Amino acid sequence: MPYVRTRLGRWFYEERGAAARPGDAAVVLWPSLMFDGGMWRGQIEPLAALGRVIAFDGPGHGKSEVPPPFTLEENADALVDAFGELGVERAVMVGLSWGGMVGMRAALQHPSRIRALALMDTSAEAESRANAIKYRAFVAFGRHLGMPKPLAMALIAPLMFSDRALAGQPEMVDRFVRAANGFSREGLARASLAVVVHRTDVLPSLGRITAPTLVMCGREDRSTPLVHSERLARAIPGARLVTIPGAGHVSALEKPDEVNEVLVPFVRENLA
């Protein structure tokens, strides 16, 4: 299986396609917390028709190793470690939620390595104190007891999926719960602390991002509501905001065709 070494341990990745022209950027996909790279199954083939695509399992998720305790800033540095190992000079970074948080920090900390950004259902801000306390309690519970299905269905799935998906696509929701329960409890806990509890506010710094940026958000996203996307789209010079009707937090999974209609042309325009 393909792995790449980083300061946060070994990461599993899936690679498809090849650069159409010398010097083209690679398309890098990073999923939401509690999902692995398989979240992008609706996007990876359309994007691979354009060029080289690399989809990562985040640290502590899927087949990637359990990381040491880390921050999102260290996550962005580790992503550039992976770029070095994989021969990626520049990337069109496509990230949903956690992935968008890593993408923004990579663009701030390593601007020469990010050709363009697609930021989906994500936030540039820190969690509120009340949410951070609540999520820390969830992390402690999950670290010891996992994520029992009744709890997941009552409290977590509604944050991830729209009402329509919860009612009409139960197999997708069930697959999410089963997959998340298969991740290392410690790995999931450490990633959750970095992404949710200890996340810093980078909104005031986003004016320094010069990469072309597409911001997308599901209109029914309850985990990271549209207001967060509106704020970061205003903060990044020239950013374009698109909303996806009927989609919840994992818009790429719920509404792949609608997402691809916007994402694929954006990536095509920014590979060279």
* φ/ψ (deg, to 5) at 115: -80, -40
Say which residue the tokens 């792995």 belong to: 3
Element (H, E) at 178: helix 170-182
* Distinct helix (H) and strand (E) counts, the chain: 12, 8
Pairing status of strand 240-244 against strand 213-218: parallel
**pLDDT at position 105, please?**
98
Q: How confident is the model at residue 135 (pLDDT cuts 50, 70, 90)?
A: confident
Sheet holding 213-218, edge to edge: 3-6, 9-16, 53-56, 26-30, 91-96, 114-120, 213-218, 240-244
pTM of the predicted structure, to 2 decimals: 0.96
**What is the per-residue pLDDT for 154?**
87
30 located within any domain: yes
Asked if 29 and 37 touch (Cβ cutoff 8 Å), the reply is yes
Q: Is residue 169 part of a domain?
A: no
pLDDT tens figures, 19-67: 999 999 999 999 999 999 999 999 999 999 999 999 999 999 999 999 9
Count of beta carbons in the 10 Å neighbourhood of residue 7: 15
What's the whole-number mean pLDDT along residues 224-249?
A: 98
Percentage of the chain lying above the pLDDT 70 cut: 100
- In 3D space, the residue among 76, 63, 56 whose CA is nearest the CA of residue 16 turns out to be 56
Q: Convert the pLDDT of each residue in 142-186 to its tens digit.
A: 898 888 888 888 889 999 999 999 999 999 999 999 998 899 999
What is the chain's mean pLDDT, rounded? 96
- Dmax of the chain from CA atoms? 51
Provide the pairing of β-strand 9-16 with 26-30.
unpaired
Write the CATH number for 221.
3.40.50.1820
Check residue 272 and give its pLDDT: 87
Number of domains in the chain: 1
105 part of a folded domain = yes
> Is 151 within a domain?
no
Look at residue 168 and tell me if it is in a domain. Answer: no
What's the first-to-final CA gap in the chain, in angstroms?
A: 29
Q: Are 208 and 228 in contact (CB under 8 A)?
A: no
User: Using CA of residue 196, residue 154, residue 228, residue 28, what is the dihedral sign?
Assistant: positive
Residue 214 lies in a domain: yes
Give the residue numbers spanning the domain of 76. 3-129+188-270
As a whole number of angstroms, the distance between CA 142 and CA 139 comes to 5
Length of the chain as a residue count: 272
Q: Is 230 a member of any domain?
A: yes
Q: Report pLDDT digits (tens) over 214-233.
A: 999 999 999 999 999 999 99
93 close to 100: Cβ distance less than 8 angstroms: no
CB atoms within 10 A of CB 112: 9
User: What would the mean pLDDT of 250-255 be, rounded to a whole number?
Assistant: 97
Q: Which residues pair with 54 in a beta bridge?
A: 15, 28
> Quick check: is 46 in a domain?
yes
